């Protein structure tokens, strides 16, 4: 298990990685569905506390394997078997999510999570044995992961219910500290283009779960006497929301950000961790948005204990959190402008205000569409300004990247 070249050309997600992602599709769907059911049944206090816990297990296990695979993907038989074990763990986690959010019983989830993490320990030990230059870093990963898994087992076995959340935050902080501790002893050779693609693909997967949740809810509602006009506004607004979220995320190519992070990674760690860890908020808020769309359908068909205002907040709060997270991740890499500085924060306020409207889903979709239109207009003005500047230079000619003419 030798390290991959971080400057390798044409590095893309492998078929095994895509199969690995499918198991997490199941886990994300279970988390969103259980979150939506809990809110609709009036168990808001339980699921609002439990949902971040559940999603942390999904996100952290996916992210740790993804970064490891970017550095040490050998695709041999032992590697494939280790990935299969992690996939089994992800399915166990998915099976335990309903119990976790309904009864705060995290035992099954922890079993699946520990299975995934201990498979990662085996991979790190292989890397330590085969890659002397990265041995200290790999051994720190293996040691740290093993120690924290003992803590998770103790969490479900001996920690009392009233101390559960406090101990969870301590263990989650320990998990987050492991890469910082390990990378301080060396640097894993992850590939920026590969990581950007992996994060982008998982963003699309979670967005797809939102579309699926909304579609299933509308399908169930179509068998009732609910007017199609009321459902149509939810369908249109939901599509505007999901499509705008996708466009806004990919407005700033992740490859550019990952390449910048990779260049500074050799001397400082904070940029890589801010970008990598910040996606927890992105992924979790997108999945929660899907649950909010399903709740809007439940509200329209009178199958929810939430008030109309509470349903509105179930939609607008995750969308607002998503906007804030994407803005925080992208803004440092964009040129200064009023739109960059204040566009997303202003949209967050207006989106939250949409909660009180008769059609919060449609209103939120319109707000995101307006923000997207402003973003496109800003890009167009900037591109036009660059063209004019080049054309005015003595002997200046427009390069093919701006004129659209091929160099071939």
Secondary structure in 3-state letters for 9-59: CCCCCCHHHHHHHHHHHHHHHHHHHHHHHHHHCCCHHHHHHHHHHHHHHHH
More confident residue, 48 or 406: 48
Question: Among the residues of 158-223, which ranges form H helices?
Answer: 164-183, 192-221
Whether 43 and 64 share a structural domain: yes
Single residue among 190, 217, 251 that ends a domain in this structure: 190
Whether 173 and 240 share a structural domain: no
Two tokens, residue 49 = 């506390």
Whether 183 and 199 share a structural domain: no
Whether 82 and 185 share a structural domain: yes
Chain segment 199-224, per-residue pLDDT in tens: 999 999 999 887 887 777 777 666 66
- Which pLDDT score is estimated for 223? 66
For residue 348, what are the domain limits? 191-408
- Checking if the pLDDT of 44 tops 90, the result is no
Chain segment 162-196, per-residue pLDDT in tens: 888 999 999 999 999 999 999 988 888 889 899 99
CA distance 3 to 301: 55
Single residue among 190, 206, 233 that ends a domain in this structure: 190
DSSP 342: I
Percent of the chain scored above 90 by pLDDT? 60
- Checking if the pLDDT of 385 tops 70, the result is no
Whether 107 and 200 share a structural domain: no
Chain segment 246-273, per-residue pLDDT in tens: 999 998 777 778 888 877 776 666 667 8
Chain segment 85-129, per-residue pLDDT in tens: 999 999 999 999 999 998 889 999 999 999 999 999 999 999 999
Single residue among 157, 175, 190 that ends a domain in this structure: 190
Total structural domains within the chain = 2
- Which pLDDT score is estimated for 301? 82
Place of tokens 């330590």: 128
């Amino acid at each position: 298990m030798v390290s991959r070249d971080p400057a390798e050309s044409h590095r893309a997600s492998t078929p095994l990685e895509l199969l690995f992602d499918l198991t997490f599709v199941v886990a994300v769907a279970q988390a969103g569905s259980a979150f939506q059911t809990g809110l609709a049944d009036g168990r808001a206090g339980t699921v609002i506390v439990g949902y971040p816990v559940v999603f942390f297990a999904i996100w952290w296990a996916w992210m740790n394997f993804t970064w490891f695979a970017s550095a040490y993907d050998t695709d041999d038989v032992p590697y494939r078997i280790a990935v299969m074990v992690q996939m089994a763990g992800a399915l166990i986690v998915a099976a335990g999510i309903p119990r976790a959010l309904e009864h705060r019983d995290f035992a099954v989830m922890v079993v699946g999570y520990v299975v995934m993490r201990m498979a990662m320990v085996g991979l790190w030990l292989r890397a330590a044995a085969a890659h002397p230059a990265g041995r200290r870093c790999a051994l720190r990963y293996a040691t740290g992961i093993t120690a924290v898994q003992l803590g998770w087992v103790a969490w479900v076995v001996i920690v009392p219910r009233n101390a559960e959340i406090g101990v969870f935050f301590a263990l989650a902080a320990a998990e987050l500290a492991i890469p910082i501790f390990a990378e301080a002893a060396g640097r894993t050779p992850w590939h920026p283009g590969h990581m950007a693609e992996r994060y982008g693909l998982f963003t699309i997967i979670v967005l797809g779960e939102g579309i699926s949740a909304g579609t299933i809810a509308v399908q169930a509602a179509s068998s009732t006497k609910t007017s199609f006009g009321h459902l149509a506004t939810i369908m249109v607004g939901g599509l505007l929301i999901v499509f705008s979220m996708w466009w806004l995320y990919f407005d700033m190519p992740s490859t550019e950000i990952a390449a910048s992070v990779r260049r500074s990674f050799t001397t400082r760690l904070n940029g890589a961790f801010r970008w990598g860890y910040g996606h927890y908020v992105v992924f979790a808020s997108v999945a929660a948005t899907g649950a909010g769309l399903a709740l809007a359908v439940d509200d329209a068909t009178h199958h929810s204990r939430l008030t109309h205002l509470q349903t509105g907040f179930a939609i607008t709060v995750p969308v607002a959190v998503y906007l804030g997270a994407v803005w925080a991740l992208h803004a440092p890499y964009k040129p200064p402008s009023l739109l960059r500085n204040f566009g997303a924060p202003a949209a967050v306020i207006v989106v939250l205000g949409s909660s009180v409207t008769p059609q919060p889903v449609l209103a939120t979709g319109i707000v995101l569409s307006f923000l997207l239109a402003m973003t496109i207009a800003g890009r167009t003005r900037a591109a036009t300004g660059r063209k004019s500047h080049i054309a005015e230079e003595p002997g200046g000619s427009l390069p093919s990247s701006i004129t659209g003419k091929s160099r071939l």
